[in-house]
């Protein structure tokens, strides 16, 4: 069990997990890299636009000083965007002693290296003794801070570390399961964001429940195919970090990735959408990573392909739907 925890990142999920750990009785320090937003959070205990209506408990110490944030910590939580995680770990390396456990909360795949977040952490730490885990699953911060029952899954190594995270984070409204499939947990949590963009595009085009059901089902099939090719267990994608997170993200009004897709379906460009967003929609960059991984592993991922073409190649959303529907007919198979 942990008593002193550091959360790096004061985005919506950083704030959400701070609420969970406060309920669990842990002592926390939160680091926010932007001095102005840090000052706002210290003064107001909230950051407008990130998690409306939520106020960070006074017991959580907030600082923009990374060294101060990491002093005497027993556990580090990375609640930063996937594409900036490597640079944060580089800075952490100079300040964090060997053997301190790290929990990743980001759901993404690094674009340049195509590595999962745990791989990035271990590569940058250069320390095989570093305990590393990832938490994933259907867990919108907007509902977590309202104490709506939420279940997630944690996977990593060693097993004793994973169990300690499971026990420390579980409360009466936040239940943590454990998994031995780190690859599957990380891929499921990341790739589902691509499918959520497609669900948003479908909604923006005015399509209905039949289309959404097809996207979720066939989206899960292509995620599972890639996961299996990369060494994940197929069963993982039937769990919280697979179908659980996929359904939630595709259907929820809280989903930033669905929001991006919906705006594009209604005629906005990707640039216009992203310029109007304060928070990061991880699925945009993961569409690049997923597309490259599909080609690398020679896995058919038609929805990912069409999302990539709409986002980065100027394809009309309506044409993408047509191309999906007009593919050659085949038997329904899961893998």
Give the separation between CA 239 and CA 255, rounded to whole angstroms. Answer: 19
Q: Is 192 a catalytic residue?
A: yes
Look-up of token digits 């739907």: 321
> Residues with Cβ < 8 Å from 300, sequence gap 6 or more?
222, 225, 294
Cis peptide before 158 (omega within 30 of 0): yes
Identify the active-site residue in 115, 192, 278, 315: 192
What is the distance between the terminal CA atoms of the chain, rounded to a whole angstrom?
A: 39
C-alpha closest to that of 83 among 61, 124, 115, 130: 115
* The pair of three-digit structure tokens given for residue 262, joined into one six-digit string: 């919906």
Other C-beta atoms closer than 10 Å to the C-beta of 7 total 28
Look-up of token digits 């060294």: 67
Residue 236 CA to its chain's centroid (Å): 16
150 forms beta bridges with 174
Q: Which residues are catalytic?
A: 192
């Amino acid at each position: 069990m942990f008593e002193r925890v550091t959360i790096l990142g004061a985005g919506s999920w950083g704030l959400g997990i701070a609420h969970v750990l406060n309920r669990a009785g842990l002592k926390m320090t939160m680091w926010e890299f932007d001095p102005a937003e840090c000052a706002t959070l210290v003064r107001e205990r909230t950051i407008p636009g990130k998690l409306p209506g939520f106020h960070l408990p006074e017991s959580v110490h907030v600082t923009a000083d990374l060294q101060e944030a990491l002093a005497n910590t027993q556990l580090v939580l990375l609640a930063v965007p996937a594409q900036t995680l490597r640079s944060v770990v580089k800075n952490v390396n100079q300040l964090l002693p060997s053997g301190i456990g790290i929990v990743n909360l980001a759901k993404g795949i690094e674009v340049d290296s195509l590595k999962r977040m745990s791989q990035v952490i271990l590569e940058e730490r250069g320390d095989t003794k570093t305990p590393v885990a990832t938490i994933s699953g259907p867990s919108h911060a907007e509902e977590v801070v309202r104490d709506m029952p939420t279940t997630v899954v944690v996977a990593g190594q060693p097993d004793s570390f994973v169990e300690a995270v499971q026990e420390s984070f579980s409360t009466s409204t936040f239940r943590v399961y454990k998994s031995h499939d780190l690859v599957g947990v990380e891929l499921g949590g990341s790739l589902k964001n691509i499918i959520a963009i497609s669900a948003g595009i479908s909604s923006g085009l005015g399509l209905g429940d039949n289309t959404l059901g097809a996207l979720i089902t066939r989206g899960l099939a292509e995620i599972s195919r890639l996961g299996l090719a990369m060494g994940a267990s197929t069963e993982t994608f039937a769990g919280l970090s697979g179908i659980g997170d996929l359904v939630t993200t595709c259907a929820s009004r809280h989903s930033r990735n669905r929001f991006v897709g919906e705006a594009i379906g209604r005629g906005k460009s990707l640039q216009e959408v992203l310029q109007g967003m304060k928070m990061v929609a991880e699925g945009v960059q993961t569409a690049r990573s997923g597309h490259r991984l599909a080609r690398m592993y020679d896995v058919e991922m038609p929805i990912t392909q069409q999302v990539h073409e709409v986002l980065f190649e100027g394809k009309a959303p309506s044409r993408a739907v047509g191309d999906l529907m007009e593919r050659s007919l085949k038997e329904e198979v899961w893998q």
